[in-house]
Amino acid sequence: MHAARRVLEAALPEPPAFVDLDAGFELFQRTGVALPDETVQELKSRCSCALFGAVSSPSHKVAGYSSPIVALRKRMDLFANVRPVASPAGGSGRPIDMLIIRENTECLYVKSERIETDPVTGERTAWADRKISERASRRIARIAFDMAIQRGKLRAAADSSVPQLHPKPKVTVVHKSNVLSVTDGLFRESALAVYNDPLLGFKDAVVLEEQLVDSMVYRMFREPHAFDVAVAPNLYGDIISDGAAALVGSLGVVASANVGDSFVIGEPVHGSAPDIAGKGVANPVAAIRSAALMLEYLGDAHTAARIYAAVDRVLASQPNALTPDLGGSGTTQSVTEAVLRGL
């Protein structure tokens, strides 16, 4: 977050004001609260946007604790998680330029779980309820089609001498409705209804395809260049976007934005890494790109493009200077300084 803050201060014509707010498991251990009401109220009343850093969550059940970012997405109605996965401009190999759009408020992440104990045998059975609504599915599908069209316009305005991966915008609807015919079936039906609505005009502007989530993973690793925009329910979007990060070198370079109608939170896709905490070798690129993505959704595409370009130059031209997750010997600070020089 410190690296992202420095880049924002350098890139923007007027340095922004920052407010540091608390959330996370360490806070929960001290206070019994992972996401204080004060944090949410400060975001709503004082902030135009936010950056969310990597916080740890325990891998086992802890009474009273739940993920602060999941709660924050719900309380701020940040219904779309937008995750670009792209190889650096000017890099070697066939380019990858995917945008994974994950529904952010439903699916298994409603965290409705319970354990039932058989009164005779004493054996326990765990249950989890899954929520897929028509409203949320239509809303996320519409954003996916809108963003595909916007990406198409940006490509059309770019250098026409460069061959385009996707001559026409394409959206891949990811589901498993061959098995989960009710929940995933509703997600699929809702997305197709948005696509086929003549008043919205998507059918003439966007190519639509469907992909079962398991074959999506297979195809994504075999031919990632085949995908433009992919839209998925919450759990599938989480899994495929983390997997897609392997295609571009590291979770340390993949950004995301939690987007609602009136607020945006930039958030690196990676989680915490306790094994390297305090060593100064964590990759700052995901956080820096998340800050740029946040600016993009605030309408400052110019500054965002400058930051993206500076990051791409560092990734493409200085492989030995990158952080260890990308095979280099650089540090968090040295990579940040290289991006700042690029700006």
77 annotated active-site: no
Q: What is the CA radius of gyration of the chain?
A: 21
Catalytic residue among 22, 146, 197, 242: 242
Cβ-based neighbour number of residue 129 at 10 Å: 10
214 annotated active-site: yes
236 annotated active-site: no
Catalytic residue among 97, 170, 176, 325: 176
User: Cα separations (Å) of 192 from 80, 133, 168, 203, 209?
Assistant: 18, 14, 18, 10, 10
242 annotated active-site: yes
Q: Which of 230, 214, 215 is nearest to 172 (CA)?
A: 230
Kindly give the residue spans of alpha helices, DSSP state H, lying in 82-233: 134-157, 183-196, 202-205, 213-222
197 annotated active-site: no
Catalytic residue among 44, 77, 214, 279: 214
Give the pairing of strands 124-131 and 170-175. unpaired
Query: Residue 65: left (phi > 0), alpha (psi -120 to 50), or beta?
Result: beta
What are φ and ψ of residue 241, in 5° steps? -75, -35
185 CB burial (10 A radius; 0-12, 13-18, 19+): middle
Catalytic residue among 109, 195, 297, 308: 109
Catalytic residue among 97, 238, 312, 325: 238
CB 147 within 8 A of CB 99: yes
CB 141 within 8 A of CB 132: no
Helix (H, G, I), strand (E, B) or coil at 213: helix
User: Cα separations (Å) of 325 from 7, 70, 96, 272, 285?
Assistant: 21, 27, 19, 14, 11
- Active-site amino acid positions: 109, 176, 214, 238, 242
